[in-house]
Chains A and B, each alone.
Chain A
Amino acid sequence: MKSIMIKRLPYLFFLGVLFLFSMSPERVMAAEKPLEIVATQALFADLVKQVGQDKVDVRAIASPKFNIHFIQPRPSDVRDVTQADLYVNAGLDLEAWSDPLLEAVGRPQLFRRGERNLDLSSGIRLLKVPDHPVTRAEGDIHLFGNPHFQMNPENARIMVRVISEKLKEIDPVNASYYEENAKVFLGRLDRKIAEWKSLCAHCVGKEIISYHDDIVYFADFLGLKADQELEPKPGIPPTPKHFQFLEDYVKEHQVKAIVLPTYFSRSTAEKLAKRIGAKVATICQNVGEAPGTDDFFSFFDYNFKQISEALQ
């Protein structure tokens, strides 16, 4: 009896596999059911929530505590994207892990340029676009320009409009709802931008050093100068030689602050700051990265307060 069972094991195995294959993930579009949306980053997820409110269920893949370049998507992320109505991402080449994730998901409409893939870099004025053929000798350089565009709150105008248009397209029943929410957000954004500009008026023209080349849009918004990084090249950790270069550099430049997000080593920044008499400020790259940065507005409140105090 036992040997018969063993001989039939492959066939039993086949039956089990067929049974499991018949169990498809549920992805039902119903009017009363919120749209299932997966965003690559917490800031994008918050913008979608601001527009979609209770008509969307949105989650972010990347924890804001980690460097967005080096996220390792988990099987649960594959599952969530498989069941998503919309995939919201930064496009460009910021999230290098996004394409392998989408290939693991295997839904063509979620791939780049697919009808359920929302690329938030659409319409954004990119900075630092290479004007020459690039090589890795320049470090982990981005082919299409600096991709950290979410650091300029002005760009949220474009992102929110793009989100609103996409939500209206895939859920036309609630189009006026999304339109109204976007309008309310943009109105509040106008008031906050004026407030932030006023808070940081004294920062205009001042120079800062950042850990990574991720602050360019933030600096552009405030009129800061940010030409140097602790990394000698993008993605290359600080070296003693470059450290010396920066020490020499600040002798001829008035650098008042060194800024970095929470996930880079603060000790290196503090070491340089101590030598040159500058302050170290945490400038978050994403919503939820530091306490009190739970949504888009509190995130920028935090960042502008940090830079304002550091450059006093």
Chain B
Amino acid sequence: MQKLYIFLLVFCQMCFLKIADVGADFSLEEEVTAMKSQMSVMQGKIDVLERKVYSQEDKIIEQQTQKHAYERRIQELESQSTQQPQAPVAPSMPSRVPGTKWIPDIGAVADVVLTVDHAKTDDEGGNRISLRELELVLGSNVDPYSRLDATVSFSDSEEPSLEEAYLTRFGLPLETTARIGKFLPKVGKVLGVHRDSLDTVDEPLVITKFFGAEGMSKSGFDLTKMVNIPWPITHQLTFGVLEGGNGEDGTAFGTARKRPTLYAHLKNYFDMSDRTGLEVGFSPMFGSKDEGANLDVRVLGVDATLVHHLSANQDLKFQAEAFNLDRKKTIDDEGNSLGGNFWGTYGLVDFRFHPQWATGFRYDYVEPVDNPADNPKSMDMGYTGYLAFHQSEFARWRLQYTHTDLSTGKGDDTVYLQGTFAIGEHKHKLQ
């Protein structure tokens, strides 16, 4: 009996302990839950406090900014009070000197050339010094949409002439820009620029023989636009219509001005690297040989220019152009062949090896268009070397030697010393 009593007592104790354990478990869970909720509340409070801190920081920054502004204002007022002259504040766009704002940009470029020429074709040679050209350049905006540019050329050996006078109309539909008037066509690399932008004293032979002594500046109109072709290459297309004819002593087209010349130029440019760029252009031209003809002369031009910037002060440029001229072939009364298919090309290397110095070489090849049958050669070839010194941004000296082998079988050696000087406003158009 006693044993049974002890057993029951132990059994009851164990049951009680078990129940107590379960109760303890329930109590702990409640405690954890309560703590979690407390933590959640505290986290919320921390978030609020953090937001307050950020807000305070913003206010501090703002007040610091204001403080600096006030400090600057105080300094300004102090400097005013001591009667010291204040540095002017730039207007949104600086105006020119009052009273001159309607005067257009005016510039002048003088080109003085000393020529020592012992031409075997000319007993007198060609030794002379001359003001080859003084270009007076004018330009200004006409209105918000257009600009007028004009270049008048003076020389000590020729009558004054109008080289260019054209209106540029910006912002036309299809992102197009138009020019109308008398201008240099955007064909290749040399035909579209003035002499002061050339790397050499004279134009390449193919330009002078095909198009004229200074290229061809003609009246007409053209349209230019960037072409959106999804390649990593930049394309610019120009299309133009010019009056007929050539430049001075050019032979590509006839002289009938009423027979227009159509031209186009597709410029393709590729950035090979930050320092190197390659441009390749194609230029078809269609003109007329004489009044009775209609677009029977075709000129196809290709140009390529590679520019590499060796450093901030050293540039290397390779440039070449080739033209194929196709004219209807005829034989004159003396049996000379006129017209036919002709090639002309040049290649140029220009090395700017110092901020002030540059040197270069040019090779020329051209087949004369109206070449008499008794000429022993069918082409003129030229070799040119030069050294240029840039006295400043606006003054340049150039020494050049050119040897030419003519189709007549004779040769020509010429040395030039050229000085080119610019005053006033004269910004070159982008090429």
Q: Does B346 contact A (CB under 8 A)?
A: no
Complex: how many Å from CA A75 to CA B236? 8
Q: Which of A120-128, A199-207, A298-306 contacts the other chain? A: A120-128
CB-contact partner of B237 in A21, A26, A184, under 8 A: A21
Question: Do B393 and A235 touch across chains, with their CB atoms under 8 A apart?
Answer: yes
In this complex, what residue of B is CB-closest to A235?
B393
CA distance A232 to B93 in the complex (A): 29
Given A25-B228, A100-B428, are A187 and B93 also a contact pair (CB < 8 Å)?
A: no
CB-based contact B279/A107 at 8 Å: no
Shortest B103–chain A CB gap in Å is 14
**CB-defined interface of B49-63 with A at 8 Å, one 1/0 digit per residue?**
000000000100110
Tell me the minimal C-beta distance from A272 to chain B in angstroms.
18
In the assembled complex, the Cα of A76 lies from the Cα of B272 at a distance in Å of 11
Separation of A299 and B260 alpha carbons in the complex (Å): 57
Contacts A10-B295, A75-B234, A108-B171; A66 near B94 (Cβ below 8 A): no
Let me know if A1 is at the binding interface, CB within 8 A: no
Given A21-B223, A91-B93; A74-B239 close (CB under 8 Å): no
Interface string of A63-83 (1 = CB under 8 A from B): 101110000011110110010
Are the CB atoms of B61 and A92 closer together than 8 Å?
no
Q: Are A76 and B234 in contact (CB under 8 A)?
A: yes
Proximity string of chain A (83-108) to chain B, C-beta cutoff 8 Å, 1 when within and 0 when not: 00000000110001101110110111
By a CB distance below 8 angstroms, the chain A residues around B259 are none
Chain A residues in 8 Å Cβ range of B7: none
A22 at the A/B interface (Cβ < 8 Å)? yes
Q: B429 in the interface, Cβ–Cβ < 8 Å?
A: yes
Known contacts: A13-B264, A79-B234, A190-B65. The answer to whether A22 contacts B392 by CB under 8 A is no
> Are A96's CB and B427's CB within 8 A?
yes
**Distance A133 CA – B147 CA, assembled complex (angstroms):** 27
Is A29 at the interface (CB under 8 A from chain B)?
no
| A: contact size bracket | 35 or more
B89 (CB) vs chain A CBs: closest residue: A125
In the complex, which residues of chain B have a beta carbon less than 8 angstroms from the beta carbon of A10? 262, 286, 295
Whether a CB of chain B sits under 8 angstroms from the CB of A254 is: no
- A183, B58: Cβ atoms closer than 8 Å: yes
- Interface residues on chain B, number (Cβ under 8 Å): 66
Q: Which residue of B lies closest to A18 (CB)?
A: B239
Q: Bound complex: CA of A13 vs CA of B97, how far in Å?
A: 50
Is B342 interfacial (CB-CB < 8 Å)? no
Complex interface bits, A105-143 against B, C-beta within 8 A gives 1, otherwise 0: 011110111000001011111110100010010011001
Q: Are the CB atoms of A106 and B170 closer together than 8 Å?
A: yes
A126 touching B228, Cβ below 8 Å = no
What's the nearest-Cβ distance from chain A to residue B59, in Å? 11
**Chain A CB within 8 A of B22 CB:** no
Q: Tell me, rounded to whole Å, the shortest Cβ–Cβ distance linking B330 to chain A.
A: 17
Docked pose: A277 CA to B158 CA in angstroms = 59
Interface Cβ pair total, 8 Å cutoff: 169
Report how far A119 CA is from B423 CA in the complex, Å.
27
Within residues 171 to 198 of chain A, which ones have a CB less than 8 A from any CB in chain B? 183-184, 186-187, 190, 193
Tell whether A24 is near chain B: CB-to-CB under 8 Å. Answer: yes
Chain A minimum-CB-distance residue to B64: A190
Given contact pairs A76-B234, A119-B93, A136-B394, A106 touches B88 in the complex (Cβ within 8 A): no
> Are A63 and B295 in touch, CB under 8 angstroms?
no
Residue of A nearest to B296 (CB): A7
Residues on B with C-beta less than 8 A from A65 are: 312
Query: Smallest Cβ distance from B67 to chain A, in angstroms?
Result: 9
The answer to whether B229 has its CB under 8 Å from any CB of chain A is yes
Is B313 a contact of A25 with CB atoms below 8 Å?
A: no
A243 CB to closest chain B CB (Å) equals 16
Neighbouring A residues of B312 by C-beta, 8 Å: 65-67, 262-263
Report if A190-B87 is in contact (Cβ < 8 Å); known contacts: A17-B264, A235-B393: no
Which residues from A are CB-within-8-Å of B93?
91, 112-113, 119
Is A21 a contact of B61 with CB atoms below 8 Å? no
Q: CB-CB < 8 A to A82: which residues of B?
A: 175, 226
Residues of A within 8 A of B286 (CB): 9-10, 13
Cβ of B101 to closest chain A Cβ, rounded Å = 13
Alpha-carbon distance between A65 and B310 when the two chains are bound, in angstroms: 11
14 contacts between A and B (CB under 8 A): A20-B227, A20-B237, A21-B223, A24-B175, A74-B271, A78-B236, A103-B168, A103-B429, A106-B168, A122-B91, A124-B89, A125-B90, A143-B96, A236-B392
Assuming A96-B427, A124-B90, A190-B61, what are 5 further A-B pairs, CB within 8 angstroms? A10-B286, A13-B264, A122-B91, A129-B88, A262-B312
3 A-B pairs closest in CB distance: A187-B61, A263-B312, A106-B177
